[in-house]
Amino acid sequence: MASIRPMTINDLFKISTTNLDHLTETYNVGFYLEYLTKWPDLCRVIEGVDGNIEGYILGKVEASPYPPPVYPYDPDTNTNPNYLPWHGHITALTVAPSARRLGHATRLTESLEQQADANNGWFVDLFVRKENILAQELYRKMGYSVYRCVVDYYNDGADAYDMRKPLSRDKGYKHVRDHGENFRVDPQDVW
C-alpha cells in the first residue's frame, strides 16, 4: 500500500511523472524549494511500494498581507469581503495518471487539512480551473464548495473557482457560501 510522507528535496527529481497531464501546473525548482523551506509540514508525497512517487501536495498557511479591518479578526465584524484570515491553501495537488482512482488525492488533501486545522486555520482553499469538472467533483466529494469565480485567473485567460472547506474553527460556516459560481471577482481582489 502506498504511504504518505513529508516531501524531501530529493523527491523533486522523482515527481516529473506525476505532472503528465495538461491540467497540472508545473513549477520551477525554486518554487518547490520555497514551499519546502517555509511550509515543510504541508508538502507531502505519496510513495508506492515500489518507491515511486505517485502523487504530491504543496500547501501553505497564510492570511492576507495586511491586517484585518477590525482586530482581532472575527468573521461577523469583517468589513472587507476580500480579506483572507489565517487559513490553509492547497497550491498544487497532483497524482500520476497510473495511480489515479486509488484515493491518493483524498488522502493527501486530508493530511493538509489536518495540518491547517492544527495551525488554527479557518478554512482550506484552492483554485481550480473552471473547465476542470473532474477536479471540482473530487473536491465537492471531499466537502469543498465554490466560494467565488476569479475571472482571468490563469495566464491563458481561463477562469478559476476558489473552492473552500471550513475547518473546525469556523463553527458557523462563515467562510463558505452557496452559489459561489455566480460571485465573480478579478484576480487583484483575491487578496
- DSSP codes, 113-164: HHHHHHTT-SEEEEEEETT-HHHHHHHHHTT-EEEEEETT-STTS--EEEEE
Written as nine digits, the cell of 33 is 524549494
pLDDT value of position 87: 97
Question: Does residue 69 contact residue 80 with C-beta atoms inside 8 Å?
Answer: yes
Q: Is the residue at 167 inside a domain?
A: yes
pLDDT in tens, 19-47: 877 767 788 899 999 999 999 999 999 99
Q: Is the residue at 72 inside a domain?
A: no
Distances (CA, A) of 47 to 54, 90, 98, 174: 6, 19, 13, 36
What's the whole-model pTM score?
0.93
* Angle at the Cα of 14 from the Cα atoms of 99 and 5, rounded to 5 degrees: 70
Q: Is the residue at 62 inside a domain?
A: yes
- As for how many domains the chain has, the answer is 1
Range of the domain at 52: 3-66+78-189
Distances (CA, A) of 16 to 4, 51, 172: 18, 14, 41
Predicted confidence pLDDT, tens digits, the chain (191 residues) = 899 999 999 999 988 878 877 767 788 899 999 999 999 999 999 999 999 999 999 999 999 999 999 999 999 999 998 899 999 999 999 998 888 898 999 999 999 999 999 999 999 999 999 999 999 999 999 999 999 999 999 999 999 999 999 999 999 999 999 999 999 999 988 87
Q: Is the residue at 71 inside a domain?
A: no
pLDDT value of position 189: 87
Strand partners, 165: 124
Q: Is the residue at 43 inside a domain?
A: yes
Q: Is the residue at 120 inside a domain?
A: yes
Domain at 151, CATH number: 3.40.630.30
**Taken in order 46, 49, 51, 52, is the CA torsion positive or negative?**
negative
Q: Whole-angstrom Cα distance, residue 31 to residue 119?
A: 22
| Contact residues for 16 (Cβ-Cβ < 8 A; gap 6+) | none
